[in-house]
Structure formats: C-alpha cells, structure tokens
Homo-oligomer: A and B are copies of this chain.
Amino acid sequence: MSSGEVKRTGRPTDEAKREAILTAAADSFFAHGFAASSIEQIAADAGVSKVTIYNRFGDKRALFIAAVERECEQLRGNLEMPQVASGNLRDRLTAIGEAMTAFLSRPKMVQFERRIAAETEHESSVGEAFLVAGPWRMKRAFAALIDAMHEAGDIEVDDPELAAEQFASMCKGMGDLERRFGAAPDPQRNRERIAGAVEVFCRAYARD
C-alpha cells in the first residue's frame, strides 16, 4: 500500500541537503562536542538555513542522535574482516591484528570514540548504540573466525569469545589508550604488539 515513495505535491525535499547537514553536524559535534557546537555554525558549514535544520531534525539533541546513527552506519561498512582463509595460522592472525589496528588507529575513529564516550555520560543510549554497531559486532565476527579455526583443528579453544577478546586486546595493548590520550603514534611498537599477540596466542591455543 503505502510502501515505496508516496507521490506528494509541492516542492520535494532535497536529500543532498540532509546529507550536507549531517556531515557538517558530525564534523562539528565530534570535533568540538555537543555543548560547544552551535546549530548556526553547522547550518553555515552545510550551506543551509538554520530553519531547515529545525524543520527536519526538531532540535539540537535529535540532530546529534541522527549524526551518531549515520556515523555508526558508515562504520558498519568499514569493519569487514580481512578474508584471509589462506596461509598458515600465524600469518592469518597477523593479518587480522594488522587490519584491526589500522581500523582503530584512524584519527576519525579515535575522535569518534572519544566523543561517544563523553556523551555517554548523559545519554547512555548513545554508548549502547555504539557498542552494538561497532565493538560487539566486531567481537562476534572475530569469535566466529576463532571458532572456525577450532573446527578446522588449528587451535584448541573453549571460549571463542574470550579468546577473541584476548587476542584483540593484546594487539591493542596500550596503543589504544595512548591514541585516545593523544600520544604520538608508534608503528614499530604496534608491530611488536601484534607479533607478541600472535606468539602468545599460539603458545596458549595452537594445536601441536
């Protein structure tokens, strides 16, 4: 019935404007925070009237939520696990660790996490939504890989989710935390962390 687009009379809404607004909003919110961002500035950056924002999103908080949801969607597209079914165990683990570190190290990602965490203080649903869209999804995917390795007889693991957490956590080490608090990146140390994680993981779980 009402599925698909409903034919409406009058000037149609400009979806490009919606995108422009959300992009400007995300840029501002994630760079300056909710309180320090102004709707007027966002409207100017988006090349749009302030009234348009209010007409389409209601108020500042709703705009923030919409920006977060859009960012989570984009995030969802980027966290594909590398399809490394080939190679030996150590090579596959290394590839996974490197992909994950690269993914988490992007400045945009660091900034986004910082902001979501801060805003979780007052809007805990924001934090929960992020967990569902990002880390938990990633953990499940990675646990499935671990489980597949177990089924294939490469490793011996009781609790795949725990093992996934352990490997991912070791790869991150303190690098995650250091990025969050603005320390200079150290690619060499990151490689050592990944190599160390592979080594420890294999010593603990590899068969034979």
Contacts and interface: CB of A to CB of B under 8 A. Distances in A.
Give chain A's interface secondary structure class: helix
Contacts of A204: 199-200, 203-204
A115 B118 contact: yes
Contact of A33 (B118, B139, B178, B182): B118
Interface in A91-142: 111, 114-118, 120-122, 124, 127-128, 130-131, 135, 139
Given A162-B192, A173-B165, A200-B204, A121 B111 contact: yes
A115 B181 CA distance: 10
A85 interface: no
A128 B183 CA distance: 6
Contacts of A159: 192, 196
A35 to B, nearest CB: 4
Q: How many copies of this chain does the complex contain?
A: 2
A61 to B, nearest CB: 13
A36 interface: yes
Contacts of A120: 114, 180-182
A174 B139 contact: yes
A138 to B, nearest CB: 10
Interface of A: 31-36, 111, 114-118, 120-122, 124, 127-128, 130-131, 135, 139, 159, 162-163, 165-166, 168-170, 172-174, 177-178, 180-183, 192-193, 196-197, 199-201, 203-205
| 3 cross-chain pairs, A with B, having the tightest CB-CB distances, nearest first | A127-B181, A118-B118, A127-B182
